[in-house]
């Protein structure tokens, strides 16, 4: 069985004067949310034998803050294909994951991550968390997908079970949407 945990980057600073979207950093709320999500991941006993991430500044900073809460560095393999990727491109990245890795953390962006979950998880009554994803996949949110298949190359549309969907506001209401 393979497990893929998707982490959307934390809230970034739109008011920061950067020349490229790629260079946009996290804001203070995003940093707090990422650290809290890291603490929660640790409390759940989540472990990863491989981490792959978009090299965008906001993703790198998210992983740094998650590591603070998690209590250990995550050491990602940076993959530029993930930056603002479609679900189809993200599926290509999944197919390229090392087969020896059973628990992978994947850090990236929306709408690609949300679309990936909706593509991989069947739309049935047996997947109630899918409705939450369909409504919104907020920043610093994790979604855990499990696959019965023993290989990443077998991952395809409709083959995942969504076992967790944890938003920062589920952990601390102050980290929810601004009013």
> By C-alpha distance, which of 24, 13, 93, 31 is closest to 68?
31
State if pTM tops 0.85: yes
Does the pLDDT value for residue 121 go beyond 90?
A: yes
**pLDDT (mean) for 139-146:** 97
The model's pLDDT over 64-89, given as tens digits with 9 standing for 90+, comes to 999 999 999 999 999 999 999 999 99
DSSP assignment of the chain? -EEEEEEE---B-TTS--SSGGGPPB-HHHHHHHHHHHHHHHHTT---SEEEE--SHHHHHHHHHHHHHHTS---PEE-GGGTT--HHHHHHHHHTS-TT-SEEEEEE-TTHHHHHHHHHS--STT-THHHHHHH---TT-EEEEEESSS-GGG--TT-EEEEEEE-HHHH-GGGS---
2-175: in CATH 3.40.50.1240: yes
Structure tokens at 35: 């650290």
> Which pLDDT score is estimated for 35?
97
Write the CB contacts of 1 (distance below 8 Å, at least 6 apart in sequence).
Answer: 102, 146, 147, 148, 149, 150
User: For the chain, which residues make up each domain, given as ranges?
Assistant: 2-175
């Amino acid at each position: 069985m393979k497990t893929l945990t998707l982490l959307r980057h934390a809230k970034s600073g739109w008011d920061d004067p950067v020349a490229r979207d790629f260079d946009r950093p996290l804001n203070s709320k995003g940093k707090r949310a990422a650290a809290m999500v890291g603490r929660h991941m640790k409390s759940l006993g989540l472990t990863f034998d491989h981490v792959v991430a978009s090299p965008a500044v906001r993703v790198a900073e998210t992983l740094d803050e998650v590591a603070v809460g998690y209590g250990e560095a995550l050491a990602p393999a940076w993959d530029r294909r993930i930056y603002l990727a479609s679900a189809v491109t993200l599926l290509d990245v999944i197919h390229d994951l090392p087969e020896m890795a059973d628990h992978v953390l994947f850090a990236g962006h929306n709408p690609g991550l949300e679309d990936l979950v909706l593509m991989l998880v069947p739309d049935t009554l047996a997947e109630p968390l899918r409705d939450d994803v369909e409504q919104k996949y907020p920043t610093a949110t994790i979604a855990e997908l499990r696959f019965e298949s023993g290989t990443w190359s077998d991952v395809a549309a409709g083959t995942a079970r969504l076992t967790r969907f944890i938003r920062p506001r589920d952990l601390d209401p102050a980290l929810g949407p601004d009013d």
